[in-house]
Amino acid sequence: MDRIRIVGGNALNGVIPISGAKNAALPLIIASLLTSDTLTLENVPHLADVELLLRILGNHGVDVSVNGRREHQNGSYSRTIHFTCRTIVDTTAPYELVSKMRASFWVIGPLLAREGRARVSLPGGCAIGTRPVDLFIEGLTALGAIIEIDGGYVEARAPKGGLVGGTYTFPKVSVGATHVMLMAASLARGKTVINNAAREPEIVDLAACLNAMGAKISGAGTSTIVIEGVQALSGARHRVLPDRIETGTYAMAVAMTGGDVVLEGTDAALLDTALEAIRRAGATVTPVENGIRVVRNGSDIRPVDIVTEPFPGFPTDLQAQFMGLMTRANGVSHVTETIFENRFMHVQELARLGAKITLSGQTARIDGVSRLRGAPVMATDLRASVSLVIAGLAAEGETLVSRVYHLDRGFERLEEKLGRCGAIVERISD
């Protein structure tokens, strides 16, 4: 099993290219099930979650063709992938695949919309909370679906004539359920109105792609989305937006270690709230042509309190990384998690590096320390794993991060990108 070895103490200087967003690529790939034509996606990251989803879609009859890799001058690459699903050959998404990644449950929307039926295993993924599928079921039911849960599977069927437009108000914001509603409603008869919809950039990206395929969606990026159903969708070509979580992660790494790095191929507007928190912590963050420049030279890391919230608030997917940054702050900071009830599993691992963190319910108090010391640590989920990398970059001596398969789910060539900016970081294959 691979591990990542880090020797801390080096500032980061250089350019880090930002990959396509995992959280946008996954629903965009699933949208290929909605049409018999070819959907071409550019800037698709090479990640474990993407590769698993390609296997899952192959099970449903999607043919996948990957163009040659376009090498980037800094060593990263993006891929263009063509997806063609002439016929859906199987409307069942089995447990052995869906249990490995929660987002694969989202195939229920396109399968139901196009074929009128779907049998999808209850999902798996990171153990960061229960994350029930109730909102998915309620939303699809509002479109006329008849849904039962039997033997660990969600079995759904559309009424005769297919799904029908309807109005649904989410009792709480759900990015995944909003994705599914967008895809399903695109092929429903009549108008669908989604209230209290997720506003994340990834929602906007999916809506843009669906519109390019012939859907009629308005309001994406606001809390009310309107979809006028169409009879069929066509193929399209769409570029996956930059990964705002990867952007924020590397920005926090620079704030942690000091240095001067340009994050290339990204957009500050995707994560204003997180970048403002990094500025308050003492780094200079400046939009530049085709990216963001992050600098911290000599100044202390200042304590900052943050609360995770749906977009445009502070992203829950950057909470662990920001906590890693705050372990070295000159004072006391607080991190409150409001999205998931079990997303503090990185705390005990950060403590192994010398961090002083006290938990009280959904709030963590971080007493900043003058130094961290390297130690063996274990990743518990995707974002927790990279928070340990950030802490290790600033720790004295050697940090060994195990279970890095979590990291490979969401970060493309992390050790190479950091290494090109002066970090001592390498992957060790046992």
What Rg do the C-alpha atoms of the chain give, in angstroms? 21
3 state DSSP class of 21: coil
H helices of 46-195, in order, are 48-60, 95-98, 108-115, 134-141, 175-186
Does the pLDDT of residue 194 top 80, yes or no? yes
Band (pLDDT 50/70/90 cuts) for residue 103 is: confident
Q: Give the up-direction half-sphere exposure of residue 57: CA atoms within 13 A in the CB hemisphere.
A: 27
Does the pLDDT of residue 146 top 90, yes or no? yes
Say if residue 356 carries a ligand binding annotation: no
Residue 105 CA to residue 326 CA, distance in Å, equals 35
Tell me the two tokens of residue 90. Answer: 């199987």
Which position has the higher pLDDT, 70 or 323?
323
Residue 46 CA to residue 143 CA, distance in Å, equals 35
Say if residue 160 carries a ligand binding annotation: no
Handedness of CA 380, 316, 266, 177 (dihedral sign): positive
Say if residue 146 carries a ligand binding annotation: no
| CA distances from residue 394 to 12, 129, 186, 330 in whole angstroms, order as listed | 10, 29, 48, 14
Does the pLDDT of residue 45 top 70, yes or no? yes
Say if residue 223 carries a ligand binding annotation: no
Say if residue 339 carries a ligand binding annotation: yes
Q: Report the pLDDT value the prediction gives residue 214, as an integer from 0 to 100.
A: 98
**396-423 confidence digits (pLDDT tens):** 999 999 988 888 888 999 999 999 999 9
Does the pLDDT of residue 176 top 90, yes or no? yes
Region 27-54 average pLDDT: 96
Q: Report the pLDDT value the prediction gives residue 200, as an integer from 0 to 100.
A: 98
The pLDDT mean for the chain works out to 93
Q: Report the pLDDT value the prediction gives residue 130, as an integer from 0 to 100.
A: 45
3 state DSSP class of 125: coil
CB 381, CB 127: distance < 8 Å: yes
CA 40 to chain centre: 20
Region 122-148 average pLDDT: 78
Query: Which of 166, 171, 162, 97 lies closest to 134, judged by CA?
Result: 171
Say if residue 242 carries a ligand binding annotation: no
Band (pLDDT 50/70/90 cuts) for residue 78 is: confident
Does the pLDDT of residue 64 top 90, yes or no? yes
**232-275 confidence digits (pLDDT tens):** 999 999 999 999 999 999 999 999 999 999 999 999 999 999 99
Is 126 one of the catalytic residues?
Answer: yes
Say if residue 133 carries a ligand binding annotation: yes
**2-27 confidence digits (pLDDT tens):** 899 999 999 999 999 999 999 999 99
State what percent of residues in the chain have pLDDT above 70: 95
Does the pLDDT of residue 76 top 60, yes or no? no
Q: Report the pLDDT value the prediction gives residue 132, as an integer from 0 to 100.
A: 67
Does the pLDDT of residue 81 top 90, yes or no? yes
Q: Given strand 167-169, what is the order of strands in its sheet?
A: 167-169, 191-195, 224-228, 216-218
Does the pLDDT of residue 128 top 50, yes or no? no
CA angle 342, 283, 299 (to 5 degrees): 115
Q: Report the pLDDT value the prediction gives residue 152, as an integer from 0 to 100.
A: 86
Say if residue 371 carries a ligand binding annotation: no
| CA distances from residue 251 to 56, 137, 246, 362 in whole angstroms, order as listed | 33, 37, 9, 25
3 state DSSP class of 183: helix
Band (pLDDT 50/70/90 cuts) for residue 68 is: low
Residue 412 CA to residue 400 CA, distance in Å, equals 19
Q: Report the pLDDT value the prediction gives residue 77, as an integer from 0 to 100.
A: 62
Residue 135 CA to residue 181 CA, distance in Å, equals 10
CA 56 to chain centre: 18
Does the pLDDT of residue 179 top 90, yes or no? yes
The catalytic position among 85, 126, 209, 421 is: 126
Q: For residue 52, is it left (φ>0), alpha (ψ between -120 and 50) or beta?
A: alpha
Say if residue 10 carries a ligand binding annotation: no
Q: Report the pLDDT value the prediction gives residue 69, as an integer from 0 to 100.
A: 54
Say if residue 279 carries a ligand binding annotation: no
Residue 364 CA to residue 360 CA, distance in Å, equals 6
**298-325 confidence digits (pLDDT tens):** 889 999 999 999 999 999 999 999 999 9
Region 366-377 average pLDDT: 97
Residue 182 CA to residue 207 CA, distance in Å, equals 7
Query: Which of 176, 224, 252, 192 lies closest to 24, judged by CA?
Result: 176
φ, ψ (nearest 5 deg) of residue 348 = -65, -30
Region 57-77 average pLDDT: 73
End-to-end CA distance of the chain: 6
Domains, in order of start, for the chain: 2-18+242-429 (3.65.10.10), 22-239 (3.65.10.10)
State what percent of residues in the chain have pLDDT above 90: 84
CA 165 to chain centre: 29
Say if residue 157 carries a ligand binding annotation: no
Say if residue 381 carries a ligand binding annotation: no
Q: What is the four-CA torsion angle of 382, 383, 386, 392, rounded to 10 degrees?
A: -120
